[in-house]
Structure 1
Amino acid sequence: MPLSEADTREKFVIPKLKEYGWTEENIIREYKIKSDRFYVKGEDYEIIKSPNKFADIVLKVNNIIVGVVEVKREDIPADKGLPQAIDYAKRLDVPIAYTTNGKEIIIYDRRIPKTERVDNFLSPKELYQIYKEWKGLEDKNLSPLEYPYYNDPTKKLRSYQETAIKRVIEAMLKGQKRILLTMATGTGKTFTSFQIVWKLIKSGFISRVLFLTDRIFLRDQAYEAYEPFKGARFKIESGKFNKNRQIYFSTYQTLYTDNFYKQIPEDFFDLIIIDECHRSRYGRWGEIVEHFKDAYHLGMTATPRREDNIDVYEYFGEPVFEYSLAQAIEDGYLVPYKIYKILTNIDIEGLDISQAEEIIYDDEINPENLKDFYLPSEFERTISLPDRTRKMCEKLLNIMNKTDKKAKTIIFCVDTEHAEIVKNTINQLTNNENFAVKIVHEDKNDLEIFRDSESNYPIVATTVDLLSTGVDIPDVKNIVFMRPISSRVLFKQIIGRGSRLANNKGFFRIIDFTNATRLIDEWDIPKPPKLKVEEIPEEPYNKIIKGYVIDKDTKEPIFDARVKIKIGRFEKETYTNKYGYFELKELPSNPLLNIIISKDGYVPLRRKVAPNEENYFFELKPIKKKPKKITVRGIVVEIAEEIEVEVNGTNVSYAEYKRYVKENIVKEIHTLEDLKDVWINDKKRKEFLDKLKEKCIDIDLIRDLEDMDEVDGFDIMAHLVFDVPLLTRNDRVNYFINKHLYKIDKYGRDIRDIVLSMLEKYKRGGIDNLSPKVLLTQDMKRKGALNKLKAKVKNIPQFINEIKSNIYELEIYNHT
């Protein structure tokens, strides 16, 4: 019987390493690379066991990771471990990775890169020399890198943190003065900075450090995080300064007061750490660090380079290490999110002030300055809308009541006055004056009570931006946007409040009333986990599932809905009758079967159900719900749009859904030419769209959510998958008229008029109106279209197909 992976490691690999000088002190077994991952399932979650969580062997020399070894069982070829070994080497930032089954050894050298079979392992001395040369450190004093980490019994250093620490110190050793560290909120930037400072101070490389923040509570959090330095720490407050310490903590504001920072000698600090440095250096930390210009400047941020923090990246340059929200979610170190996108009618359309029956303003406002129309960006800034606020609060409480009534919730408001109104509205609706609290100032009492996981109230905190950065409240499960956001940097900071790990928390909700989630990008979107579920249909095939499919809003039966039962390779389907009823017999005896219900105009539903003799009732959600209106003080406020996309039984964010759509389309369509070929062929198009619907992909859903009524399905997919310009049907018709209509003119004016009528129908209804069937419509019959075409055109289907081909001509992209 072949040896297990662990036995192979201990009986063959470890002894072989020791032959070449590696000791137990150098060898780290099962070094953790990542954790188990959280996966959202409806309003619940499951924990998915992550593959390749541990590197079998990590090789250390002088407390520095320099290599990694992937071990396979003795009966598995060694090269099967190569992808894992390479991944570990990249994550741990080492030049050499091995994969072995105890009999053969394969080395991967990242310096070249190349892979080859070898007989032996490199010795510690050889591998350490390779590492130093690869990093450009062969002539440097490596004592800061070699000094041991602080061993915190309550907090173990994670693999990516160790890589970040190495990168920062290596940059300093090579003389880089400005260094940037970019790590998503909740991934431990402060702890990472502490370990960096620990190694630098204890090795004697530097003597004094200044840790800068822009909030008192962030300064205090950092001070506590550096507790192992004990009496070497000092908080700079109100002009007080003690020159006999090593680690100093201050806010920008304290140092700016009376230009206090100028009273400190320019060469006093060796290292300045700028926390949350994504906030522009102009008017914040810029003058302070320039005063201490000879020190190393370490900037820490949770946001990648974006249009609203360019000056920060211009100052520091590219980050020496980056760890995104998406990567942290994939690695199991942060929880994923679920999006509720909810827009009122006036947030979509703006507010016509003539709708209001009552307008209240004080003597300071000139009535002549009142506008007839207000944009959503002006709501709660220049005009207060209590109706809208109340509707939003009602919807939020409705979501909380259905999901988790006690979930800690932070609401981001426009200003202090708005935060007060939202707080009061929630407390009125819950009939509990302690349910919500406003936190807009650094009132430690309110903040500490809200942070206390043992406290029953308050459950909701309203704020403006005080809680947008830095503050650590792991129990937060709902992040609510009631203020418009235009900054991607601020958006990432805000959602970071909900992503931290906590007990009994597997995801957090983003409840978006202001379309803030449009700012989600690749930094925030994790790749979907690989779920391995092998389902086998069980005999006997004598079970039944039956029931009704109804509209979730109207409760009316849905006719002709497709109902499919699937388990493993077994599939059986039927369609509902006019009463919405269906019945599927002779089904497998599995305790649970997968049911998939779909119908044009509805969000597909997928669930696991138990076969039984009772009728099921399934509700399908219309893609566009009919808004429920409420009129207060003469202003109509309604929930006009609520987006929740369901894919394979899981509610996903719209950004995730679009990526899912793209990934599945490219499995079927590889080029624009392929897409055109399928799209202009009626049979191929129908088969292709049916395949997409089976995968819960509905192009009409994207059209509705993106407000693209005038865009053809071809162009939605072409833009999403191939990144070509987004064209409307009108664009295509104009192109056809300019480029190809002259070809039609040879048939005479009557045929030209018929073609132009078909093009008008295409603009309104899409490619289905470019079909011989359209000639049988009433208006075409009145024109005598079919007879006129027969008289002039030999092959009508071919004639129409040529029109379709010209409309979807790819050369159009050369003219946009």
Structure 2
Amino acid sequence: MEQQKLIQKIENSLYKGFIDQNKPVSTQFKPKLLTNKHHENVLYTLLQELKTCNTFIFSVAFITEGGLATLKTMLYDLNKKGIKGRILTSTFLNFNQPKMFKELLKLNNVEVRVTSEKGFHSKGYIFEHQDYYSLIVGSSNLTDSALKANYEWNVFLTSLENGEIINHFKNQFEEAWDEAFPLKEEWIANYKQHFELKPFVKHISPNALEINAEYLTNTLADSLAIQPNKMQIAALEQLKALRESGAKKGLIISATGTGKTYLSAFDVRNFAPGKMLFIVHREQILKKAMGDYRKILGGHEDDFGILSGTSKDIHAKYLFATIQTISRDGYLQQFMKDQFDYVLIDEVHKAGAETYLKIINYFNPKFLLGMTATPERTDKFNIYELFDYNIAYEIRLQAALEEEMLCPFHYFGVLDYEKDGENIDDTTELRKLVSSERVKHIIEKINYYGYSGDSVRGLMFCSSKGEVHELSNALNHEGLKTIGLTGDNSQEERENAISKLNSGELEYILTVDIFNEGIDIPYLNQIVMLRQTQSSIIFIQQLGRGLRKHNSKEYVTIIDFIGNYKNNYLIPIALSGDQTLNKDNIRRKTVNTNYIQGVSTINFEEIAKKKIFDAINNTNLSTLKTLRDAYSDMKNRLGRIPTLFDFIEHNSIDPEVIVGYSQTYYNFKLKMKESIPSLTEYEQSVLEMFSKEFMNGKRIHEILLIETLIANESISRKSFVQKLKDFGTYVDDPTIHSIENMFSLRFHVKNDIKKYKFKPIIEVVDEHYRFNVEIQKSLRDLNFKSYIEDIIKCAYVKNKKYDKTKALTLFEKYSRRDACRLLNWPHDDSSTIYGYRAKNNTCPIFVTYHKKDEVETSQAYSDEFLSPELFRWFTRNRLTLDSTEVKKIISYKESGMKIHLFTKKDDGEGTDFYYLGQVDIAEDSVKNETMPDGKGNHLSVVTMNLVLEQPVLYDIYHYLVEE
């Protein structure tokens, strides 16, 4: 970037920041306040600056292990690139834990010093970039709460090297750095002894204070009444309302670790049954549940009893039974059908099994409650129907994290062992899974990413029984303390291993087919995933093993070893809860993980992230089976045939995915073997047009017109223009003509016109719009009308992510056809655009950033970002500055032509491109050049630098440019 232009941009940004907030400037250098509110947290900006810097320095008084955890993946990637930094910290108030200092020593590319400066309380982060410095200074220490959750005040500034402020900060840092001493193991050992002599001087993080409060509440339950949390209060109110409505059954869907057992105990206390039956599938859960109930219900010890293989307290007021025992006729027949007023089934997603159905069909309680974290099933059994579709309460992982009901987690997606370019996949032989190189790789990663607490208590999920046992042996040989458990081990062996894990005799339990659910080990502080993700449900079940709060940990570390697995796309689906099957949504959830709530973070090593993108590109997410399963789940949940809008409302499949698969929802329902009223061929073609053209919400104008004409026979052009203005969207004559061209079919190519039966959908008669006669007739059929209204509802929701004041929204995705329509071209010329086309006073440019090898060889275009707001672009070859086409583009200002830039990472993304905005051509950047054609020839080409109206968003920019 030229120095003078950079100076001008920073001057403009400072003018906006300190003199006039209304000055329009680039966002790249704009001063801003970072507060952790409004979806812009300190951590996001910190990671952005780290990723693009040449070196960095941090001066922070307080650091926690959780704070370091949020940066470890980035620092690992920076180390591979040779980027180094320095951290200056302190022992002020004895806040910093000895173990945290040990974690600092793991950072190979970071030099750490400790100052003895009295009252050292600084909080500043400085980043040196190629041509400038950036600075974050304010209230945030290097703790996960301060970087992501707490309400903080930090200012972000940009400066050139000679700026007085940046030099003040640098000089202060260097002065303190020179007087500080290097962090070493010996000093940490001495500090630890000093630290442990002053236990009450320790400053515990907010997370730990919450955990300790919960721990004290639980352990002092005999003297303190346990009160329901926020989620439980809401659920109890809904359960009460459900019963008052006459319902006799209810279903609770609640993420693992959110207190379902306590919730049910509170409800039993409110219900006050004469007798209660609690059913689970494992005896060890039974004992824990009974203990929790005793805390809530109180009463005599004899009121509580167990019915299992080892205990037969069948006369207890509150009976806790295993399904295996109570389902036997010899025991079941001892109870009358109305023996229990309240029956509760835990892990009720298993209730499709014959033993559960036998119990449910036998007893006739006043109320039946089912509880599960995962009601979705693959065997088509309808759990919802079993409970009369009464979902009393539902809270999933994201909401539970937001409500701080779970232990925070730091997820690390790391690359599995790779040798000679060969990475672990689902065909890798056992001997390679347990090779000494892979074992050392595993140990390196689990040591680097660490754990919260005094000692590791980990659970490793392996790919096979063979790997469980052989890897356990190999890890033990390396000095770890592990044991392998599978379904072949008895309950007693499992409980013994869990006890040893708790006492510290074991560090890890390795398993494959057990511990996914139904096991409570709250002190787990590290989960290691050494297998491919088979389903998002199992992934969350396994991750959830560590999410219970416990006083021994502030967070849980999740380390996921990512290989060449075809199912890698399930990882962002599981972590985000995004069930849309929309590839672009899943890519965005991989690139930007800000959706995770609280202090929890999701981090992918760059190469591991690439494995996920490859899986997304190479996988057909919308197979018939996948769609059928999702459709079946939705139908089961609702107890009726769902609408398209139902899928949006319940965060399920994106309706556009359904339409992409089957053209219309009518066709889709036929493929689902539904018996539905038939539509005429023309009605189907109208549905197809509305579904494909307008349901995406990219332009709401057509939807507004359709909705108006459903309610009214006609509307004048003038009234429709006013309606658009009232809605707050943009409107001008070219847009109105474009809308008319869409409905008259003049915009469409011949094949589409044929598909839509050569009939204008909406006619213009005497300056009034109206549907054609055939559609007017069809709309009298409520069935056909309901399909149209369903599309309209979906379109309104989808339109919310678009800027309705503009034709195109920055950083959203559009196809070439979308561009033709939204730029108001009179005809769909998308098939002739290729890389770009100057037409109708606009010039959309479409760039595939990473081209296929054969394209690069034959046409060596080197289109590239020079910075987030500057793009070097090549015209078609065999053109020069004298070419008519080039002259038309470079004289865009004189003619008033608008140039728009669209780009995508590679062809794996399909037909849609990110819209990067309207661009200007940088002065003096237009040049005649040549390029090789792969055959020994050199072809003429024109290059120019395009200046974007706004710098590309950090996450999209790095997603596009990285290989």
TM-score range, shorter chain: 0.3 to 0.5
Higher share in helix: 2
TM-score (norm 2): 0.40
Provide TM-score, normalisation by structure 1: 0.46
